[in-house]
Structure 1
Amino acid sequence: MKKKHLLAAAAALVCLALPATAQTVLKFSHTDQQAGGRHAAAQLFAKKVEELTQGRYKVQVYCCSQLGNDPKNIEQLALGGVDFTVSATGSYAPHVPTLNLSMLPFLVDNYAQGWKLYDESPWMQAQFAKAPAKGFRFLATWEAGFRSMTTKEPLNSPADAKGKKLRTFPNEMMRWTLEAMGFNIQIMPLPEVYLAIQQGAVSGQENPVDTIYSNKFYEVAPHVTLTNHVYSPLPLAISEKTWQKMSPEDQKAVTEAGKIAAKFSRQAISSDDEAALKSMASKGAKINAKPDVAAFRTAVQPVYTKAREKYGADVDALLKDAEAVRKSVK
């Protein structure tokens, strides 16, 4: 009997020594390479979540499409299969269709304008507010940059695009834009793109400079053309199921971690583009920094008409916000 009492007392002491709540591990899935800016921001986010929640939460980052491509990550986010993802705004459009309009061509001219549009546009905030009903919510907007082209042959104007097969991601507005430029479109997951270009299945692809660099697309499609046709930041999202399980204190902490990582992401990507281009050039890439952008702008005008036919007043509401941003930030 005495032995039983001693065992019970020992067990009670062990329980007292344990933390009141065990650490919860959360999954963060994305498609970027380990050398990419998205992954660096995700690692910082994970560190800050653990710090700001005093260790109550630990974020495990899965890069390189280990758990799925962008559409699959967002689908799993809505179902609660993963806890965080970060992807181009247009990738969320299957769940919030109006976010397709964020991919309209040539909305802003520089990073400062893009940041102001995403942080302050009433239209953009209204679209983000629709997300919780779809199973996830946006915490902060990280950076990827302006989308440009990498092709096997030189590309200076829509005349050079005519009939060329170009890979892009599954987004209606991007498809309309690239087809208006003259390309034939091929949709495929990011990890398959390098080999597809190498084998001649497509003649090139379009992505922000950081993604082009980290995936080494310039090795197989050496003509890097800075069209900057779409501003393509990366909203960070959390599963609504995960969010609702958190205390208000931890919700605040996770949001703060997302904003800290967003600031890092914006500074890193906006300042690293030039270095990435120089590095690519030193390895044989041919950088076309001044294509005939006016010709590309003219070619995509029908996209705005098609968008208005499908999305109505939302198009002009966004264009009004974008115009105000362009006037206030040079």
Structure 2
Amino acid sequence: MNMKIKTTMKMSAAVAALLVVAGAAQAQEILQFSHTDNPGGSRDQAAQVFADKVAEYTEGRYEVRIYPAGQLGNDPKAIEQLQLGGVDFTVSATGSYATHLPSLNLTAMPFLVDSYEQGWEFYDNSAWLQGEFDKLPEVGFRVLSTWEAGFRSYTTNFELHSPADAVGKKMRVFPNDMIRWTMEAIGFQTVVMPVTDVYLAIQQGTVDGQENPVDTIVSLKFTEVAPNLTLTRHVYSPLPLTIAEETWQSFSDEDKDAVLRAAADSSAFSRELVKNSEAAQLEQLAADGATIITPEIGPFRDAVASVYDQARGVYGEEVDKVLAEAAAIRDAMPAN
């Protein structure tokens, strides 16, 4: 074999190798994950677990790129982008999805469950809720698993001990009828705004407070501007992880299984992280100067009793299905 032929063969081999490398690079698909948690927060940590597991379980065929802190849009915008194909994944409170499936408002009825374990049972095994989740692909996205945020409580620029203290005060809410009805039943005036705008709104006096789980309060530093934290735990507020239906349908069966495994792993991580961090977070908030208020819950429960009737006026018998399932779970799994 002469030198010219050998050189030609070496060049052909080199070109083939480059084509293989280029093909491998092109084969890895980038998936976008948008959320509103700050970098390093529990949702951001769970998103990283999810991304790592997707890469592992798909043998590197997919890379999930995470965009925290609302870089690609607030929660309602991220959900809209799921429908339009602008992002592939997001994670938000169940009530945020109710704009597209109004019945999900019912998950935000006050005082449905009293413990994390009861909440997990409801979200994993409620026949009613799973039936509602099954409707979501029709509007452009689907639930993969449920992450944890915890129970919603208040941070305010005044001390909140009872509903009487709420009268005339302005409370930020996200676009959810059930949350709005609950706040108004307690006595607040409500102001709808994205969570990414809340810190500045409290600082400027546009609102007097906000309500979110402790984990979110810590992540978004709300006690810096609203230093009174009242632990009403009035709504259990977990975070369904969702995928654009268009993205889901583009996967092979093998990749669907891989993404579901990653979603389950990230859910387990999120639940344990948030549950096990809450006590230490409250201690740190107190050490940093926040006033932690543990109110008598009875007056708050009494104040929101009218919310169930409001819900029946809109959702009919669905309300009592949800209340019955929640009551059965509370009876079977008493809170500690």
Size of the aligned set, in residue pairs, is 329
Distance 2:54 2:13 in 1: 36
Distance 1:33 1:121 in 2: 31
Distance 1:107 1:13 in 2: 60
Give the structure 2 partner of residue 292 of structure 1: 296
Give runs of aligned pairs for residues 1-330 of structure 1, distance below 5 A: 8=12, 10-16=14-20, 18-19=23-24, 22-289=27-294, 291-330=295-334
Cα shift readout 1:179-231 (whole Å, capped 9, x = no counterpart):
00000001111121111111111111100001111111111111100000100
Relative to 1, partners in 2 of residues 1:312 and 1:210: Cα closer, same or farther, differing over 3 Å? same
Residue 15 of structure 1: CA displacement? 3.0
Cα shift readout 1:239-292 (whole Å, capped 9, x = no counterpart):
011111111111000111011010010001011111111101001100012x12
Relative to 1, partners in 2 of residues 1:200 and 1:24: Cα closer, same or farther, differing over 3 Å? same
Distance 2:58 2:247 in 1: 15
The normalised TM-score by structure 1 is 0.96
Conserved in 2, the CA contact under 8 Å of 1:139 and 1:255? yes
Report the AA paired with residue 127 of structure 1: E
Residue 150 of structure 1: CA displacement? 0.5
Residue 96 of structure 1: CA displacement? 1.1
Relative to 1, partners in 2 of residues 1:52 and 1:163: Cα closer, same or farther, differing over 3 Å? same
SS in 1 for 2:153: strand
Report the AA paired with residue 303 of structure 2: A
Relative to 1, partners in 2 of residues 1:124 and 1:10: Cα closer, same or farther, differing over 3 Å? same
SS in 1 for 2:99: coil
Cα shift readout 1:284-311 (whole Å, capped 9, x = no counterpart):
100012x121111111111100111110
Distance 1:103 1:68 in 2: 23
Conserved in 2, the CA contact under 8 Å of 1:93 and 1:100? yes
Conserved in 2, the CA contact under 8 Å of 1:21 and 1:56? no
Residue 7 of structure 1: CA displacement? 5.2
- Percent identity between matched residues is 57
Gaps of 5+ in 1: none
Residue 157 of structure 1: CA displacement? 0.8
Report the AA paired with residue 154 of structure 2: M
Conserved in 2, the CA contact under 8 Å of 1:168 and 1:188? yes
Report the AA paired with residue 287 of structure 2: S
Distance 1:232 1:58 in 2: 29
Distance 2:133 2:17 in 1: 48
The normalised TM-score by structure 2 is 0.95
SS in 2 for 1:93: helix
Report the AA paired with residue 138 of structure 1: V
Cα shift readout 1:46-98 (whole Å, capped 9, x = no counterpart):
11110110000000000000000000000001111100000000000011110
Gaps of 5+ in 2: none
Question: What value does the CA root-mean-square deviation take over the aligned residues?
Answer: 1.6
Conserved in 2, the CA contact under 8 Å of 1:95 and 1:134? yes
